[in-house]
Structure 1
Amino acid sequence: MSAGFDSTQVSIGDQVTAARSSVVVYDASEWGRIVVSDGDRLRFLHNQTTNTFQTRQPGEGCDTVFVTSTGRTIDLATAYVQDDSVLLLVSPIRREFLMDWLDRFIFFADKVKLADVTAETTALVLIGPESDRLIEALGAGDRAGQPYGSHALYPIAGAAVRVAVGSGLGLPGYTLMAPVAAAEPLRAAVQAAGATQIEAAAWERLRIEQGRPMPDHELTEDYNPLEAGLWHTISLNKGCYIGQETIARLHTYRGVKQQLWGVQFSAATPQETVLTSGEDKVGHVTSVVETESGALGLAYIRTKAIEAGLGTVQASDVVGTLVPLPFLSHEYL
């Protein structure tokens, strides 16, 4: 197998193409890693986020959303249930906020401990259709075909590496987490097995193409997780949690006023551009990136316009075509 090549010598477009056609590795070490431990850990997370935790077993994982008391989004996280703790992979710019946020809800009688292990660990994300082949080469081939979020420890590059199913995008892949001392050997092993290393700019383009919302763009206190297309992270029957009343009411009374969609533009369009249909304002752009097919954006679009069959929008004199994206879900499945 050929070794991966240095991302600095390859264009962003070629890095993205490699993610679609083969396998790439993205260094996600700047993403936050928070460990929630002690006896009430599952009950605590069950009460703090949108997904269900009470019945989850070690080796399972899921995406979940932290929300405010009014159901507004704080962050999209991936949770990995371990034997005696839960490891949370959170957005880089929400790590410190979430540590403080979670600590506020730990009361005297709660058996819950928090630890920020970001500096003590490393994280690499494999992305692409050949990621199964690569983890097999690393000795973790039995992860292939397992449910999203499922994970286990494997001896790789002289360290115990947690290999989890899922790239955090709509593309196939795996997330690898290990002690920080193993960062360089693990990266070398992954590249030697054939993964191309990609830059942050390539990952940003991939996440917009796939539709993954991020804090300060699509995930803010202006939006709730139903609007953000994160229906797959929400349990509608698990009972009370922070923000549950608002989210349940929005679902029951069809109160989702806007939806996150992809928009393919005919020309470059700035972020925060207002989108119109005729004389009506129907949405605005939250993220945009240049692709080989032109500018592609993420945008919140009014639900009434979507239900009326809206297919195109205007950004001044630029035409935008609405496109579904793999990571986004617009109804409860």
Structure 2
Amino acid sequence: MSLQEVQQAAGAIFNKEGVALSFDNEAAALKAVEGGVAICDRSHWGIIKITGEDRLRYLHNQSTNDFEKLQPGEGCDTVFVTSTARTLDLATTYVTEDSAIALISPNRREQLFTWLDKFIFPFDKVKLTDISSQFSVFSLIGQPSNSLLSQVGTENITLEKTGSHQIIAIADLPVRIALGSGLATPGYTLITEQENAEAVWAKLVNSGAIPLGESLWESLRIQQGRPKSDLELTEDYNPLEAGLWQTISFDKGCYIGQETIARLHTYNGVKQKLWGIKLDRAVAPETPITLEDKKVGILTSCTDTAAGSYGLGYIRTKAGGEGLQVRVGDALGELISVPFIQHK
């Protein structure tokens, strides 16, 4: 059976792109995130493999984080930006002995590949390969994920720093596991060859991981503040405004967009910030956010949950921060801190 057939047998409901939106088990999946282990199929995300002697220098020059200090087995989140520091994508990149593997947002795969390719010059020893179709990606989400992997894997897990990774065997098949679920909830990201995906997924589910669909992932990422391409991450915003300070090295040398980011940092020039918003009702994205009838921002995402409605939105820095009471269309809202976002 294929992975999709196994998921369908477990109750998966797919969209037209073949992504499992739901397993009709939202309550159980949410309970697993909070106190057990959930598993989400992120195989629709893009994977770009970067090889060649200059690969780390190239990534160092093309994105916000410091790649020249990374060793094989390490990784980091980084933001690819334009020359004026406008965001293209938030990516997670893993450094191996002979390559770097970048996990890219689904809706940025082709655009980012084309963007990066145009910055490879004749004397650069760098090669890009889109290997998205060759691999499957899963997220294990939940504090006990380490225990579950220890039960099903044959190697000791030695990962301590977010982004660090190693190869273990699951169902006697090689799987790269990396510390970090892709959300603020503790967990792991797993990358395995597509032909092995069904067996690895089945082993994890049979060992206690609860399947979690894309719709709940989307709700969790809004509640936790992970910005998304085309919504919070567009060329209207920069990484500092998006609260992605943890992805930026202020000590490394020149890179695309560095001058703008350094100036904003040095002179406290961040004029708007991304915040979580607790709402008294659901509101459509792109609804203006107002304070005393004056527009101070815009809603970018919204989710309705059993605990209420939550959104993400950009707010003018001068308007205020956590605890600020605002109006979002017909709804009342309060700015709240969310774990994925940092505001230094």
Amino acid at match of 1:295: S
In structure 1, what is the Cα distance between the partners aligned to 2:253 and 2:51? 22
Question: Alpha carbon RMSD of aligned pairs, Å?
Answer: 1.6
In structure 2, what is the Cα distance between the partners aligned to 1:158 and 1:130? 22
Answer yes or no: is the 8 Å Cα contact 2:78–2:93 preserved in 1: yes
Quote the offset at 1:141 in angstroms.
Answer: 6.9
Partner residue in 2 for 1:254: 268
Answer yes or no: is the 8 Å Cα contact 1:7–1:199 preserved in 2: no
- Partner secondary structure for residue 80 of structure 1: strand
Partner residue in 1 for 2:337: 324
Amino acid at match of 1:124: F
Q: 1:310 to 1:190 in 2, by over 3 A?
A: closer
RCO (CA 8 Å, sep 6+): is it higher in 1 or 2?
A: 1
**So what's the TM-score if we normalise by structure 2?**
0.92
- Of the three residues 13, 21, 33, the one matched with 1:19 is 33
Q: 1:74 to 1:237 in 2, by over 3 A?
A: same
Amino acid at match of 1:89: L
Higher alpha-carbon deviation: 270-279 or 39-48: 270-279
Answer yes or no: is the 8 Å Cα contact 1:7–1:15 preserved in 2: no
Quote the offset at 1:132 in angstroms.
Answer: 1.4
User: Does residue 311 of structure 1 match 2:315?
Assistant: no
Answer yes or no: is the 8 Å Cα contact 2:323–2:334 preserved in 1: no
Quote the offset at 1:15 in angstroms.
Answer: 2.1
Residue identity (%):
50
- Of the three residues 96, 99, 110, the one matched with 1:85 is 99
User: Does residue 264 of structure 1 match 2:264?
Assistant: no
In structure 1, what is the Cα distance between the partners aligned to 2:49 and 2:11? 31
User: Does residue 211 of structure 1 match 2:225?
Assistant: yes
Deviations along 1:34-92, whole A, 9 cap, x unmatched? 10001000000000000001121000010000000100000000010000100000101
Q: 1:254 to 1:11 in 2, by over 3 A?
A: same
Amino acid at match of 1:260: L
Answer yes or no: is the 8 Å Cα contact 2:299–2:328 preserved in 1: no
Partner residue in 2 for 1:283: 297
Higher alpha-carbon deviation: 257-266 or 134-143: 134-143
Amino acid at match of 1:150: S
In structure 2, what is the Cα distance between the partners aligned to 1:21 and 1:311? 31
- Of the three residues 180, 197, 204, the one matched with 1:166 is 180
Partner residue in 2 for 1:49: 63
Answer yes or no: is the 8 Å Cα contact 1:65–1:75 preserved in 2: yes
Q: Number of residue pairs matched?
A: 327
Quote the offset at 1:268 in angstroms.
Answer: 1.8
Quote the offset at 1:19 in angstroms.
Answer: 1.2
Partner residue in 1 for 2:111: 97
In structure 1, what is the Cα distance between the partners aligned to 2:153 and 2:256? 41
- Partner secondary structure for residue 174 of structure 2: strand
User: Does residue 6 of structure 1 match 2:10?
Assistant: yes
- Of the three residues 188, 193, 206, the one matched with 2:202 is 188
- Of the three residues 238, 242, 257, the one matched with 1:228 is 242
Quote the offset at 1:129 in angstroms.
Answer: 1.6
Q: 1:245 to 1:190 in 2, by over 3 A?
A: same
